Structure 1
Amino acid sequence: MPGTLLGLLLLAAPPACAWEYWGGDSGGQRFSPLTQITPANVGNLVPAFEFHTGDLEARAPALMARTKFEATPLLVEDSLIFCTPFNEVIALDPATGAQKWRYDPKVSPSQRPGNRYVCRGITYWADGQAAKGAPCSSRIFMGTNDYRVIALDARSGTPCADFGTNGEVRIEIGKPLVWPGEFQITSPPVVSHGVVVVGSSISDNVRVDAPLGIVRAFDARSGAARWSFDPLVHDGISAGHANVWAPMSVDDERGLVFLPTTSPSPDFWGGERPGNDEHANSVVALRTETGELVWSFQTVHHDVWDYDLPAQPTLARIDTGDGLRDVVIQPTKQGFVFVLDRDTGKPVWPVEERAVPQGGVEGEKLSPTQPFPTHVPDLMPQRFAPEDEFKFPPIIGSPSCDAQLSGLRNDGLYTPPSMQGTMIFPMTGGGVNWGGAAFDPINQVLFANTSYAVHLVKLIPRAEAEGLKPPPGVDFGRQIGAPFAMTRKVAMSKLGLLCNKPPWGALVAVDLKAGKILWRSTVGTTEDRAPLEIAFKWGTPLVNGVAITAGGLVFTGAMDAYLRAFDAKSGEELWQGRLPVPGVANPMTYLWKGEQYVAIAAGGHSEAGTTIGDSLVAFRLPRPGEAPSLWSRTIDRPGGRFWSKAIVCVLALALIAVAMWRWWRRARLRKTAI
């Protein structure tokens, strides 16, 4: 790369020692210029500390079963600061993990939030107009599960008395909620030009007349309302939502905030909202100070698949071959990557409108076409064929998967929901989720975690839905006001295995300029879920994101209890750091007193049925005389791969033999009975 171009790209990088934003920088690149930890020494990492929030001891098990610890810490004001699922904000010593201060907003345990108790992060803002060292001259902002926006002094954790009422502003929703947790805030606000902007997370499939997905802005000093933006135009339609539950991005220089909007309500039937649904399912650019609409680009027309935008728009400067260009990169649940001009919202490379399956249920008005990017390849397959079913054990297969997958409507991507049942692949939580993508500005490579699973969605006529009680593992949405309720479940065998062939989670690297996949690596094993800790390398669903470094590494967690490091050039897995429970969160890295650390929240994932925890874990390189840790292991240790594979093969053959014997015994008993 020419020296001038490299220099310009490095100027766009975040500060060398800090991680001051949820996404690493205000544009969500999740890139750190740190180079102390490299592919050559990452295998030597040792635990620096493990901090427990205390939730496991203080909260009832039934309450913890409704949590997701998805926070990304920030390194600001000489502290590592993060939020717990119950919106407690905690500041730690960056080297030891010792608690420095703590703030509890007292979120009610009876809130019952529809999307679990979760706080993905907090936001830091330094007030350039405040006197240095004055109280609240630097602030921490957070949205809560009970829809408050809170401002704290970043150095002490004390509420900022001049913000709202005693440091908080309560959101005015505008209509009664079905229950208190129908409306919540799960992702961090953004702050720019003295304005704090906040979205919301609203429970899906409850009703047609759901709360509106309004994005709200407040004065960052006083908490006074500045503006609001509703992605939907409600003239002649009945719908709510189109909210922004995922993280947003800001461009301070342009004075723009970028919103990833969701689908209108309800998700799987849109007869009361004809047309393309305005700015739903769109990347939307607004003036930060006024809320004025600058541009909008829609990624799904008239969404009836829950294919909302779940990820932070990534702001990057890319080399298109004709020089550098400022863009917005938006990954999707379908595995698409849209690359848009940051000033106009126009696609950098062509996006085609292609015909998609039709024939929705009565009253539905589907869009005849959907947008498909043409230059950047799909991050994952987008069609499920019969040969993609996972036959395990291989000889016998899975009768339970056969029964679930047969008779469903399956016309490929954008097959409409139906009364017979529709196969949705990628699933509604698949592709790229809230963890988002990461961008290496030096090598011009995009990295993203992807999930592979099949959702089975069925529309239930209203008369049949009354009194329906689906079995465990089946989502039931009443969709009140629509002629259909809905059920949704992940296609899974009685052994607890997904019905689609592995991998079930993969990390992908994409050369944007060339428009090609550089590599794809499976992430995660069955070790923490399978009997005898058998570690089949099948991958796990990956809703979380990654952190990348100029040192040539990609860090990520998974649904098993490891933090992993991959070689950014080859995709080779280099290291595993054992965690107390799965780290289903975005990792981050920082430099503190000359040492580089990598940290991740390890709290498990209640929706996925993993073990639940309350830890924040950090790793660093060993100091002189410090012994290696059993928590860390390199992947290519001598003989390790051979013996682990040999043990797995023997155990797999034993399982197959047992399954065949049981099948033969049942067949013999049936023959005897006849």
Structure 2
Amino acid sequence: MRGALATRLCRSGTAIVLLLFSSWPGIAWESWGGDPGGSRFSPLREVTPDNVGNLVRAFEFHTGDLAARPSEVMRRTKFQATPLFVEDSLIFCSPFNEVIALDPGTGAQKWRFDPKIATNQRPANRYVCRGVTYWIDDEAPANAACRSRIFLGTNDVRLIALDAKTGLPCAGFGTGGEVRPDIGMKLDWPGEFQITSPPAVGRGVVVIGSAIGDNRRVDAPSGVVRAFDARSGQPRWTFEPLKRDGVEAGHANVWAPMSVDAARGLVFLPTSSPSPDFWGGKRPGNNEHANSVVALRIENGELVWAFQTVHHDVWDYDLASQPTLTRIDTGDGQRDVVIQPTKQGFVFVLDRDTGKPVWPVEERVVPQGGAEGERLSPTQPFPTHVPPLTSQKISTEDALSFLPGLGRSACERQFAEARNEGLFTPPSTQGTAEFPFTAGGVNWGSAAFDPVNQILYANTGRAVHLIKLIPRAEAAGFDPPPGHDFGQQKGAPFAMSRAVVTSPLGLLCNKPPWGEMVAVDLKAGKILWRSTVGTTEDLAPLGVPLPWGAPLVNGLAVTAGGLVFTGAMDAYLRAFDARSGRELWQGRLPVPGVANPMTYLWKGEQYVAIGAGGHSEAGTSIGDSVVAFRLARPGEGPSLWSRTIDRPGGRFWVSLSAIALAIIVLIIASLRWRRRRRIKQA
């Protein structure tokens, strides 16, 4: 496999590589996805598979939230920010929307802006800020204040513009540097509506989406996309994704990051599902343009095209990933495309000008027999050229079997008792096994694309959700078991409950790996390799690091140096060989880095940085750090925070820990067996 990719690189030609690097937007990281099209590719090549083991920790910066905020508030946070490298600074946002600029070499704070959001609103999607957006006003004088700007959307629904050099609000933008969009209806509670992803900006227009509480009510807030003048903050246009003809629903919002093609003047929206997620009897039809990639003219909001990836969604299979804009070799020449990965593990490749699939997409018959009042789509779209990135069916044969007689029967029973007819099995009062689960496939971390080698990389998550519809008469007194998400779906005849299917030991019921990185040759339509990402070290009792992976919602970064970097649910930043998928290096983090990494060049040295704040919904430890690594300088010894994976004996600690866990499990099994025996005898 290594040889094949090396040959492809050579064929691309040194001249092409040099041209690519010289015309690249910079050796910085100026957008949330690396560039406005979300490729997450860097031309930097100082760090390579040969020297990645020499990475050492450059700095660790703490926002101060962990010390300043009450623990019950911190337990409602998700630190998912990706720093930008602009204006000779690393600039990122905390879960509480504080914007912080750091010295890129030392991590020392340069400035900070605090919007002072309330911490008693209990936001539906927790306190989260995935990033900020950088924009230069080419019409402003060179030294004018706010010529370069940072745009920020907040958990309490504000759009804020800051001077990128000083962090001061831009006085000419809205009122005192901010605008407050009109949601257009009364909220059930203040945290029902948020802005969690970075705004999109181009041609003097800044665009924001929204994150809205799921499964609360049929008449939920609308998913209207709003655009404002990037200089003044004056409203420019709005776009309602969900066609409202005969539809009683809300949402179809854009909570994931958007992409911009400034040359074409287009903004690309990944839209979500209508409300509520798991019953759609009051929203008949396909629900255009929900669950769609939507291309709009950024200057006026005019619809150019839309492509729907799920018809009449009742599985919460919304588009969680940023559309990736790139140029690919299709076999019939180069084409500008939009690559859209999905929660189901599909990869749709669309022509950027027309939205038509580059390779055929088939409408295939899917399971029917929805709940009372439901009107399902008889077919769903399936890409035919690029294979799914993850498996899409689950059975009793896929139940976890760690030790004979322990846990497997419970997992098998849960799979067997649920309705389970494969992908797109409708929710039911019986309980439906949904696989991939609603956070599965490719999530908000999105994919990365290497334009030189024409390879797509993506993190995937593998777990099973049990979705159950609860008749309205039973919903009022329903007491959800621990670990179950419960939604009233007011206005529908059913409430819902949702839970990840786990064994009595708390492990996922499906066989590992639970998190994988996948490399895809798009032209050939071929999976090149899969690599397990993560261990149970920071999730399992006693820190036992079983190398089974962990569900991945965060993304990755790929470099011209031949490396792919990613975080995971355990507290490590990892580097993989981009050609083979072999894990090469781990950098220890204070808590899990469930965020997208980025890389930049500062004073001739390549750095790799990631936000490390944990993930409250996954039950990890919580933190407030940004951590950066660089190659060791002359005279610097090995770092305690860095480990090369492929050294002799490097995996011995994993094997030893697995043996320790086996002993612990045997003890637990013995105790449970004796307890059950005593109960039966009694």
Q: TM range, normalised to the smaller chain?
A: over 0.9
- SS of aligned partner of 1:508: strand
Q: 1:112 deviation in Å? A: 1.2
Q: 1:7 deviation in Å? A: 4.8
Corresponding position: 1:302 with 2:312 = yes
- SS of aligned partner of 1:406: helix
* Partner Cα separation in structure 1 for residue 471 and residue 26 of structure 2: 57
Corresponding position: 1:178 with 2:188 = yes
Equivalent AA in structure 1 for residue 279 of structure 2: W
Q: Is the 1:213–1:242 contact (alpha carbons within 8 Å) kept by the matching residues of 2? A: yes
Which sections of structure 2, spanning at least 5 residues, go unmatched? 1-10
Q: Deviations over 1:323-356 (max 9, x none)?
A: 1100000000000000000000000000000000
Cα gap change, 1:4 to 1:599, in 2 (>3 Å): closer
Pick aligned residue for 1:117 from 101, 104, 127: 127
Cα gap change, 1:568 to 1:236, in 2 (>3 Å): same
Equivalent AA in structure 2 for residue 157 of structure 1: G
Q: Deviations over 1:230-268 (max 9, x none)?
A: 011212110110000000000011000000000000000
Cα gap change, 1:593 to 1:350, in 2 (>3 Å): same
**What residue number does 1:534 align with?**
544
Corresponding position: 1:569 with 2:593 = no
Q: Is the 2:140–2:147 contact (alpha carbons within 8 Å) kept by the matching residues of 1? A: yes
Cα gap change, 1:85 to 1:550, in 2 (>3 Å): same
**What residue number does 1:446 align with?**
456
**What residue number does 2:532 align with?**
522
Equivalent AA in structure 2 for residue 654 of structure 1: I
**What residue number does 2:610 align with?**
600
Q: 1:533 deviation in Å? A: 2.5
* Partner Cα separation in structure 2 for residue 491 and residue 18 of structure 1: 42
Q: Is the 1:14–1:24 contact (alpha carbons within 8 Å) kept by the matching residues of 2? A: no
**What residue number does 1:59 align with?**
69
Pick aligned residue for 1:164 from 158, 171, 174: 174
**What residue number does 2:667 align with?**
658
Equivalent AA in structure 2 for residue 88 of structure 1: E
**What residue number does 1:648 align with?**
657
663-672 or 338-347: which moved more?
Answer: 663-672
* Partner Cα separation in structure 1 for residue 569 and residue 521 of structure 2: 27
Q: 1:672 deviation in Å? A: 5.0
**What residue number does 1:477 align with?**
487
Q: Is the 1:13–1:32 contact (alpha carbons within 8 Å) kept by the matching residues of 2? A: no
Pick aligned residue for 1:233 from 215, 228, 243: 243
Q: Is the 2:471–2:494 contact (alpha carbons within 8 Å) kept by the matching residues of 1? A: yes
* Partner Cα separation in structure 2 for residue 667 and residue 226 of structure 1: 67
Q: 1:406 deviation in Å? A: 3.5
* Partner Cα separation in structure 2 for residue 141 and residue 181 of structure 1: 21
**What residue number does 2:515 align with?**
505
- SS of aligned partner of 1:648: helix
TM-score (norm 1): 0.98
Q: Is the 1:9–1:441 contact (alpha carbons within 8 Å) kept by the matching residues of 2? A: no
Q: Deviations over 1:36-66 (max 9, x none)?
A: 0000000110000000000001110000000
Corresponding position: 1:319 with 2:329 = yes
Cα gap change, 1:430 to 1:2, in 2 (>3 Å): closer
Cα gap change, 1:649 to 1:259, in 2 (>3 Å): closer
Which sections of structure 1, spanning at least 5 residues, go unmatched? none
**What residue number does 1:401 align with?**
411
* Partner Cα separation in structure 2 for residue 215 and residue 297 of structure 1: 17
- SS of aligned partner of 2:53: helix
Q: Is the 2:396–2:416 contact (alpha carbons within 8 Å) kept by the matching residues of 1? A: no
* Partner Cα separation in structure 2 for residue 365 and residue 497 of structure 1: 36
Q: Is the 2:278–2:496 contact (alpha carbons within 8 Å) kept by the matching residues of 1? A: yes
Count of equivalent residues: 672
* Partner Cα separation in structure 2 for residue 626 and residue 645 of structure 1: 28
Q: Is the 1:393–1:659 contact (alpha carbons within 8 Å) kept by the matching residues of 2? A: no
- SS of aligned partner of 2:338: strand
Q: Deviations over 1:143-192 (max 9, x none)?
A: 00001000000000000010000000001000000000000000000110
Corresponding position: 1:139 with 2:149 = yes
Equivalent AA in structure 2 for residue 263 of structure 1: S
Corresponding position: 1:90 with 2:109 = no
Cα gap change, 1:196 to 1:667, in 2 (>3 Å): closer
* Partner Cα separation in structure 1 for residue 21 and residue 335 of structure 2: 14
Percent identity between matched residues is 73
Cα gap change, 1:236 to 1:663, in 2 (>3 Å): closer
**What residue number does 1:358 align with?**
368
**What residue number does 1:434 align with?**
444
Q: Is the 2:434–2:467 contact (alpha carbons within 8 Å) kept by the matching residues of 1? A: yes
* Partner Cα separation in structure 2 for residue 126 and residue 664 of structure 1: 67
**What residue number does 1:633 align with?**
643
